[in-house]
A and B are shown apart, each in its own frame.
Chain A
Amino acid sequence: MENANKSPLANEPLLRIEGVSKIYDGLIKAVDQVTLNVASGEIFALLGGSGCGKSTLLRMLAGFETPSQGRIYLGGTDITDLPAYQRPINMMFQSYALFPHLSVSDNIAFGLRRDGMAKEAIAERVEAMLKLVQLTQYAKRKPHQLSGGQQQRVALARSIAKQPKLLLLDEPLGALDKKLRVSTQIELVNIIEEVGVTCVLVTHDQEEAMTMATRMAVMSAGSFLQVGSPKDIYQQPNSRQVADFIGSVNIFDGLVKQSPANSAQALGIQVECADALLRVPSNQACHTGMAVGVAIRPEKIVLSRKKPTAKVNHLAGVITEMAYFGAHTSYHVKLASGKVLQAQVQSHADEASADLSWGDQVYASWSDNAMVLLTQ
């Protein structure tokens, strides 16, 4: 598998997407000027809601759609005009598309037979694949005789049997129920890492993207909003849309009052909000009077009855809603301005927030680093 990834150029990424667009009927831009490099060994996730263009992009990588503009390179070779059946890329389809008239082992052998491999070599490879996905005793079954989880493993085995240079996963866990999904996520990543294949996966489930991917792109309206590691995107979202899409978030709207450029004090950017004057540690370019947002994740907010000792970063409010989730409790705190703040408190948190309830007067506080300035 490793040798498959050696590229003719030294620093050439395994997959290079250059300015790719897909335009339907001359005006609908399903994918709009996307450029991306995926290095060998990465598990890259394309995350977005339905209709954001993630599936179209994946289908262009597989060869089922032709880009209207731009080129796609695999290991330095231009594959844009190569038909699907000639690409060294395999895909695990959403809801699997296992051939219903073929047995499990015939499904896995299908691609190998097309390569004209020797019979013994095929049998050996199929055997190894069945062992890898722990389905050896189901080799003779037909797909409809298997459970959803087993079908998913057959689909995985079929897509990696040919040892593709690039593996595409289209909503790999979408057809499984929630409980099975968590255990399968880990299993799937383990198998992919064992085989060492580079992956591009498409999902609408941010949890799935975050647990499986080494790097991800958040997509909307055909283009990338942000590309980075799951941690970067969660901690440092670059826009309201990304902050909103990945997990829940509180956003304070405000105007920049004073930025470091016109103040000698490098205390960060001061943002005048309805509830308070927030000092956000950020080096983003902005000017006085600019409309910005300040994002704070609910789990970074601390609730207490006593007024915090610090002078900044706290607001008073009243608890209007609370919901107990076992590991944590979620609160809605109504501020003086009428804005509702979401806060998530770990169940083992200290006494201060232990017995908070509806109607309680509380102080919500957070650290400087909890705030992220959103300029768009």
Chain B
Amino acid sequence: MASLMQSLKNSIPSWLTGRRLVIGLPYAWFLILAFLPVLIVLKISLSEMQTTAVSGMVSWQGTWPSIKLDVSSYLFLASDELYLATYLSSISYAFYTTLICLGLGYPFAYFMARAPKRWQALLVMLIMLPFWTSFLLRIYAWKTLLVNNGLINNALLALGWIDSPIEMLNTPFSLMIGMVYSYLPFMILPLYANLSKLDGRYLEAAADLGCHPFKTFWLITVPLSKAGIVAGCMLVFIPAVGEYVIPELLGGPNTLMIGRVLWDEFFSNNDWPMASAVTIVMLLLIMLPLAIYNKLQSKGHA
């Protein structure tokens, strides 16, 4: 038995220590499930569509490999204004969603953090409660609420406040309702985590130095919760830009979002290189500002 263990031990290479294994796992995860897929998408975006399959990038001619990069998808992307307009409208929908979520979520998180300790767990539960129902079901529920003969219109008609149903479904309004509703918890939770750690003595110190509570909020509470604001905004903004399901179900013909375009390119046009190019540009549009922001942040601390 001992010799078996010994031989097992010997068969493990010396560089493979427990420490490296533990640190290596998340790296391996990231490499296989995030980095590699992006590389594959990048590769497809630089290929050509040959009827049903994507062309190979590397072909062997004698001993030398020849690499063929096809940038036509990117060129088309740049030339067709529809793509640019869709990117801009995606970003602006995501931006307004983030803004409204912040506006609604901050006071929400603030009062949650200030609530008596015994209530806080319950309040967090209430925020998480919708996650127990499928996201898709909840969006469909909004559909039935907002539709012309839905609950809201019927109620308003019955009250006599309106004469004919308000066109709400499949408009930018219904899209924003769905987006804000779906992403609000992602704003509230990091803000709550941050605000509940805020040391009350800072607020007392500000009051002691003659600062009115309203002013203290802007001068102390908001700056000290910056990390929570940034985390919440990223958690809302990034997925919101690429959102597909909500614009598909609640959006209309004039609510262009890049997720829809992606779907169409992949599954309707069957143009994988084009779809991949759209993806890569979207990735860059989101990642670059973030990278620049992080760089500035770390500079500011140094």
Q: Which of A30-38, A80-88, A334-342, A357-365 lines the interface with chain B?
A: A80-88
Tell me the complex Cα distance, A86–B209, Å: 9
A interface, how many residues as a size bin?
A: 20 to 34
Given contacts A64-B204, A84-B204, A93-B201, contact A114 B209 (CB under 8 A): yes
Q: Flag if B208 contacts A84 (CB, 8 Å).
A: yes
Q: Flag if B211 contacts A110 (CB, 8 Å).
A: yes
Q: What residues on A are CB-neighbors of B201 within 8 Å? A: 93, 95, 97
- Select A84's contact among B207, B220, B224, beta carbons within 8 Å: B207
Tell me the complex Cα distance, A90–B207, Å: 10
Q: Flag if A99 contacts B208 (CB, 8 Å).
A: no
- Select B215's contact among A83, A111, A114, beta carbons within 8 Å: A114
In the complex formed, the residue of A with least CB distance to B219 is A110
Q: What residues on B are CB-neighbors of A83 within 8 Å? A: 207
Tell me the complex Cα distance, A27–B101, Å: 44
- Select A91's contact among B199, B208, B211, B212, beta carbons within 8 Å: B208
- Tell me whether chain A's interface is mostly helix, strand or loop, or mixed: mixed
Given contacts A97-B199, A101-B224, contact A111 B204 (CB under 8 A): no
Is A158 part of the contact surface with B, judged by Cβ < 8 Å?
Answer: yes
Q: Flag if A97 contacts B224 (CB, 8 Å).
A: no
Is B205 part of the contact surface with A, judged by Cβ < 8 Å?
Answer: yes
Q: Mask for A348-370, Cβ within 8 A of B = 1, else 0?
A: 00000000000000000000000
Q: What residues on A are CB-neighbors of B226 within 8 Å? A: 101
Q: Flag if A114 contacts B211 (CB, 8 Å).
A: yes
- Select A85's contact among B202, B210, B224, beta carbons within 8 Å: B210
Q: Mask for A68-97, Cβ within 8 A of B = 1, else 0?
A: 000000000000000111100111010101
Given contacts A99-B220, A100-B224, A101-B223, contact A115 B210 (CB under 8 A): yes
Q: Flag if A97 contacts B210 (CB, 8 Å).
A: no
Q: Mask for B190-232, Cβ within 8 A of A = 1, else 0?
A: 0000000001011011111111110100011001101000000
Tell me the complex Cα distance, A159–B208, Å: 9
Is A373 part of the contact surface with B, judged by Cβ < 8 Å?
Answer: no
In the complex formed, the residue of A with least CB distance to B216 is A85
Q: What residues on B are CB-neighbors of A101 within 8 Å? A: 223-224, 226
- Select B206's contact among A86, A89, A110, beta carbons within 8 Å: A110
The smallest C-beta distance from B89 to any residue of chain A, in angstroms, reads 36
Q: Which residues of B contact A (CB under 8 A)?
A: 199, 201-202, 204-213, 215, 219-220, 223-224, 226
